[in-house]
Amino acid sequence: MNANLNNMQPAIDPEIVVFSDEDEGKDRQFVNALARGLEVLRCFRPGEIYLSNADMARRTAIPRPTISRLTYTLTKLGYLNYSEQLGKYQLGAGVLALGYRMLSNLDVRKMARPLMEELAEHAQASVSMGTRDRLSMVYVETCRSSANVTLRLDVGSRIPLMTTAMGKALLCILPQSERDYLMDHARTHDTERWPRIKAGIEQGFRDYQERGFCISAGEWQNDIHAVGVPMLGLDGEQVMAFNCGGPAFLLSRDKLESDLGPRLVALVKNIESNLGRG
């Protein structure tokens, strides 16, 4: 999978927002140069170590001269490293430092981990916690069982928002306006598959109302089954979600519905109680 990613020609990324000078004019508080610099850092995908200025220009639709100035500045600040031999850039330690500080401030991770480990061993699967970043869910904690067939996704891994159990669960507790905005944005980027994706989301809403969890059975990947449950943070604003997932041959729909779904709901309620929200 990673080898294929490295050989792919970078294309404009639907999750990268291209800002124009008009955006800055419409919002006097908006700094277009800063936004563009951050979008450059988003260009790197899992499995990609190096990107050239040309790669990043194609992916962001930002002009090459502007990209060159941005990468020069980001390199000076330690967010990118430049390889003279390859003539390309890789992410620098500054990016890792920012991510680590964000994770270290998530106290809920320490509280949740023992419960996640217990459920992972029971299910012989993976249990993860994630938060939304645009049209993806990003893992901020993950626990795997001792089985050799669990999903090999780690902290920082990204999965789709619209077709995964974790993503659908998070959509269930978003404000209606935010949910509609995200779904409309997703529709414009995948019009061909959207009717099927939307049907899966709507089924997730019904499942959450009836049972407190959402299921994804082959919607993201044909051979992956998972269950997801959402959770509000201590401030009542930060939205997160948990999943328990693995190979379809181990996690049947019946097992998700009768066993792992209720257990994941109980896990989230336990965490909420420990946070003082139960």
Q: What is residue 242's three-state secondary structure?
A: strand
- Among 41-55, 125-139, 164-178, 234-248, the minimum mean pLDDT is found in 234-248
**What number is the average pLDDT over the span 189-203?**
95
| Res 8: pLDDT | 38
Side-chain half-sphere CA neighbours of 149 within 13 A:
11
pLDDT at position 1: 34
- Across the range 69-96, mean pLDDT stands at 95
For residue 110, pLDDT beyond 70: yes
pLDDT at 10 over 60: no
pLDDT attached to residue 277: 64
| pLDDT band with cut points at 50, 70 and 90 for residue 2 | very low
Under the banding of pLDDT at 50, 70 and 90, the label for residue 278 is: low
Q: Which residue has the higher pLDDT, 13 or 89?
A: 89
- Percent of the residues in the chain that have a pLDDT greater than 90, as a whole number: 70
Residue 10 or residue 161, greater confidence: 161
Give the Cα separation of 138 and 243 in Å (integer).
12
Q: Which two tokens stand for residue 7?
A: 């050989």
Which segments within the chain are labelled E, that is strand? 80-83, 88-91, 126-133, 136-144, 158-160, 214-217, 224-232, 239-247
DSSP tag of 148: T
Does pLDDT of 90 surpass 90? yes
What is the pTM (predicted TM-score) of this model? 0.78
Checking phi first, is residue 60 left (phi over 0); if not, alpha (psi -120 to 50) or beta?
alpha
10 or 210, which is more confident:
210
Q: Which domains does the chain have, with CATH numbers?
A: 2-97 (1.10.10.10), 106-274 (3.30.450.40)
Mean pLDDT value across residues 196-218: 98
Residue 272: pLDDT above 80? yes
Q: Which residues pair with 246 in a beta bridge?
A: 225
Q: How confident is the model at residue 236 (pLDDT cuts 50, 70, 90)?
A: low
* Mean confidence (pLDDT) of the chain: 88
CA distances from 108 to 88, 111, 125, 244, 263 (A): 38, 5, 21, 17, 18
**Most confident among 95-104, 105-114, 203-212 (mean pLDDT):** 203-212
> What mean pLDDT comes out for the span 250-258?
97
Q: For residue range 12-42, what is the model confidence (pLDDT) as tens digits?
A: 455 555 444 554 456 778 888 999 999 999 9
Strand-pair partners of 228: 214, 243
Q: Stretch 40-59: mean pLDDT, rounded?
A: 93
What percent of the chain is predicted at pLDDT more than 70?
87
pLDDT average, residue stretch 36-65: 93
